[in-house]
Chain A
Amino acid sequence: MRREIPIAICLLAGLSFILEYFIPHRQVLSIFETIRQWSIIVIAFAYVLGLSNLVRVNFHVIQKKQRDWLYKIILVLGVFFTLIVGIIPYFGGIQEGTIFDWIYYYAQYPLQATMFSLLAFFIASAAFRAFRIRTFQASLLAITAVLVMIGRVPVGEKLWPGFPDFIEWIMNVPQLAGKRAIMIGAALGAISTALKVLTGLERTYLGGD
């Protein structure tokens, strides 16, 4: 019962939504849309699981004064401070000009954006390493990468006027073919795994007994 009912729920929900794809009727679609919204609600509640895990794990580090425990205090304070100023109406909620908005704009956004911008350095080091790899397959990758990099900047056209067209060809012929092969294979793999989930053959997501 503890496994069969969830599997039955999954199968029923899954089959209904497969059917939804074939039913264009407006009223039916609006019912399905409502149910789809329900899954967002379930996720909203599941955030409590994530946050409780985060706080528990870091609280243990602080409690045992393990390595970097002082930083973990900053982390936990960050969680609670953001939660408090966001949820307690006294602080104005999440509208523009509130403390919550200020935290996002001046702390979270710059931190995130700078982490993202580190990619410029990481991609450079990765590219540098790619050229040192000596297998045939890796050289194909490296050579194509260099050609595309040169072809996308003005200097490429100055070196050889046909460069932009050549890059266009790489993108539209070999790149496209490779992309399609991966896409078709991966989709078939995903659909067959999804089918196993739907039929209860794959129950990983349900966890242990």
Chain B
Amino acid sequence: MRIPHLLRLFFVSCIFLLVDFSLSVAQEDLSKSWFNLHRVNMLIFLVFFFAVIIYFIERAKRGKSLFIRRIAGLDAIEEAVGRATEMGKPVLFISGIEDVDQIQTVAAMIILGNVAKMVAGYDTPLLVPICQPFVVPVAEERVKEGYASAGKPEAYNRDNVRYISSEQFAYAAGVNGIMLRERPAANLMFGSFYAESLVMAETGFSTGAIQVAGTANIHQLPFFVVACDYTIIGEELFATSAYLSKEPKLLGSLKGSDLVKAIIIGFLTLGAVLETFGITHFTRWFFIE
């Protein structure tokens, strides 16, 4: 169903008027209100974002071809695993130090399943040190599934998924030990990292392993860029996990996210131009209490 342009314009104007109205309403006692009117703009952003993502996922499900550029990080992962296989040495997969409730850890788990599938065919051990207890069952399942889908369920070694410690530097010490003594040829670090990132990445470098890292934690990215052979930056981590899943419906979300980014670029440009001419009203729509 095609909606006429004028109607669309009317609809969008109504939304902005609604935001404008809600932001100007004074709510005296918030603790007794059932809805925070000053967050109407957030509600609209969230609903819009969800709608766009779901729309593109549905489009992908219907078989519409979606172009997604090749993500360079993928080649780096395959290269690292390939090298470890050639050398007959293990692959080390580090999934960050946060629990499975952190979306970066979920992305890491998706990548882990695919790495397990890659190594399964070559009898290359996959070592997975874990920092948080809830990640243990998820990682075990992902690795098991990966081996099973490669037709090698018997190659799965449960003892290679190892809980180390929930304390970040104790975890880093344990991972260092694995790097120094089991000498993995490929270190893959994906997920949420903090100060321990450099301890692990530098130790990995000293062992001569090929290292690929990916995180959305801005403060750790410089260290990965310096110490690793390839670094997957910010959103690329989520894109890599969606790409690796090879399910078109999951790739649809990348397309949706891109559209939202394009809209953000539009808003940003418009906002800057209006601010330049002293019109501050537009920027106000993006203030959230």
Contact = CB atoms under 8 A, between A and B. Distances in A.
B34 A56 contact: no
A186 B241 CA distance: 13
Contact of B31 (A24, A111, A196, A199): A24
Contacts of A43: 99, 133-134
Interface string A125-150: 11101100100001001000100000
B106 interface: yes
A60 B157 CA distance: 12
Nearest to A144: B222
Interface stretch (B4-12, B72-80, B118-126, B162-170): B162-170
B189 interface: no
Mostly, the A contact residues are: helix
Interface residues of A, number: 65
Nearest to B140: A207
B221 A182 contact: yes
Interface string A57-75: 1001000000110000000
Contacts, number: 196
B123 to A, nearest CB: 18
A179 B218 contact: yes
B218 A182 contact: yes
B133 A207 contact: no
Given A53-B162, A54-B163, A57-B162, A22 B238 contact: no
B163 A50 contact: yes
Contacts of B46: 18
Mostly, the B contact residues are: helix
Contacts of B169: 111-112, 115-116
Interface string A169-209: 00000000001001111101111111111010110111110
B138 A49 contact: no
A183 B235 CA distance: 9
Contacts of A28: 34
A189 B218 contact: no
Interface stretch (B13-21, B62-70, B253-261, B276-284): B253-261
A195 B235 contact: no
B256 A25 contact: no
A141 to B, nearest CB: 6
A95 B120 CA distance: 48
A68 B109 CA distance: 29
B155 interface: no
Contacts of A51: 133, 163
Given A67-B181, A116-B195, A189 B238 contact: yes
A193 B162 contact: no
B222 A141 contact: yes
A184 B53 contact: no
A18 B50 CA distance: 12
A145 B221 CA distance: 13
B35 A22 contact: yes
B162 A188 contact: no
Interface in A16-36: 18, 21-26, 28
A126 B99 contact: no
B212 interface: no
A151 B187 CA distance: 34
Given A186-B234, A208-B144, A125 B202 contact: yes
B104 interface: yes
Interface in B220-262: 221-223, 225-227, 233-235, 237-239, 241-242, 245, 249-250, 253-254, 256-257, 260-261
Q: Which 10 A-B pairs have the closest CB atoms?
A: A50-B133, A207-B141, A189-B238, A185-B235, A186-B216, A115-B169, A189-B235, A186-B234, A24-B30, A122-B202
19 contacts: A18-B46, A39-B101, A43-B99, A46-B134, A47-B166, A50-B163, A53-B130, A57-B159, A112-B169, A115-B169, A122-B199, A126-B223, A189-B234, A190-B103, A193-B253, A202-B106, A204-B142, A205-B100, A205-B106
Given A183-B218, A195-B54, 16 more contacts: A22-B35, A22-B43, A25-B31, A50-B136, A50-B166, A54-B165, A115-B169, A126-B201, A186-B238, A189-B216, A189-B237, A196-B253, A201-B249, A204-B109, A207-B138, A207-B145
